[in-house]
Copies of this chain bind each other. A is one copy, B any other.
Amino acid sequence: MAGKGERLGIIAGGGQLPLAIAETAQATGRAIFVLALEGAADADGIERFPHAWVSLGELGRMVKLLRDSGCSEITFAGKVARPEFAKLKLDGRGALALPRVMAAAVKGDDALLRAILSVFEAEGMRVIGSDEAAQDLIAPKGPLGMLEPTDEEEADIVHGMEIVAALGALDIGQAAVVCRGLVLAVEAAEGTDAMLMRVAALPAALRGTHEEKKGVLVKAAKPGQERRIDLPVIGVRTVELAASAGLGGIAIEAGAALIVNRLGVTQAANRHGLFVTGVAPYGTAP
């Protein structure tokens, strides 16, 4: 990792993760500069940090802003909707990269993200993952709050980790909900929040309830995933939506998943009576 004297560039999509990375980096004494992606990044949150707004197609401008602010190490964080390539605001460098990026997009999210990364690497920048940029966010092993999974929930976690590994191998998604052996929902392009809302809308016979919690949300990195982008993330809202879906808890891959606002997540888990636990990667010893 670069020394603390060197500024970290954060290319920020939506959600709380880029803000959490910015805060954590500053808290450890590292200077940062945020490139906020138009239409994705959270305007209110970003205002607190040194930043500039950019379009995903302005790759040349992004490189220049990063250089001018003294960042040679950068990280990508947060949600970005797939751009409508035909409507993208492009500069020269962006236009040059577009054909390769579009070709990669057809192969899936991971390929698309790798193609964008490689543009910055070609400019001599070092791209690091959220896990390296803000190590305090990485999920530890074991339960966070007061509760632990029951034996039935443990079985659902094992099944869920298998499902998510299979989904990840096909670049479908990073999350699934399993309830007493039945796969209630699988995440694809809609994201984890929408998946949990869908579980809450399933017939009550299929899922748990507030009174009788059942089933687990499992989130894990894709096998062989580009770890510098798009690691699985949970936050307070994930816990709240899992509670609304009647789940017993959340299992995330220790060492790979990121927890935004760990204290808030732990308190929400305790308040709603859910467990939140870090588990070993699929295919390794527990």
Q: Quick check: is A206 within 8 A (CB to CB) of the other chain?
A: yes
- Mark A177-193 against chain B: 1 for CB-CB distance below 8 A, else 0: 10011111111111000
**A106: B residues at CB distance < 8 A:** 155, 180-182
Q: Quick check: is A202 within 8 A (CB to CB) of the other chain?
A: yes
Q: Is the CB of A108 within 8 A of B181?
A: yes
Q: Quick check: is A3 within 8 A (CB to CB) of the other chain?
A: no
- Complexed CA–CA distance, A237 and B109 (Å): 31
Q: Quick check: is A170 within 8 A (CB to CB) of the other chain?
A: yes
- Complexed CA–CA distance, A206 and B194 (Å): 15
Copies of this chain, tallied across the complex: 2
* Surface stretch bound by B, among A22-30, A76-84, A126-134: A76-84
**A171: B residues at CB distance < 8 A:** 183
Q: Quick check: is A236 within 8 A (CB to CB) of the other chain?
A: no
**A204: B residues at CB distance < 8 A:** 84
Q: Chain B residue with minimal CB distance to A83?
A: B205
- Complexed CA–CA distance, A162 and B169 (Å): 12
- A interface residue numbers (CB < 8 A to B): 81-84, 105-109, 155, 162-163, 166-167, 169-173, 176-177, 180-190, 194, 198, 201-206
**A109: B residues at CB distance < 8 A:** 182
Question: What is the minimal beta-carbon distance from A207 to any residue of chain B, in angstroms?
Answer: 8
- Complexed CA–CA distance, A163 and B190 (Å): 17
Q: Is the CB of B186 within 8 A of A173?
A: yes
- Complexed CA–CA distance, A205 and B81 (Å): 8
Q: Is the CB of A194 within 8 A of B198?
A: yes
- Complexed CA–CA distance, A34 and B190 (Å): 40
Q: Is the CB of A190 within 8 A of B194?
A: no
A-B contact pairs, 23 of them (CB 8 A): A82-B206, A84-B205, A105-B180, A106-B155, A106-B180, A107-B181, A108-B182, A108-B183, A109-B182, A163-B172, A166-B169, A166-B170, A170-B183, A172-B186, A177-B188, A183-B189, A184-B188, A184-B189, A184-B190, A185-B189, A186-B187, A189-B206, A190-B198
Q: Chain B residue with minimal CB distance to A205?
A: B84
Q: Is the CB of B163 within 8 A of A170?
A: yes
- Complexed CA–CA distance, A81 and B182 (Å): 12
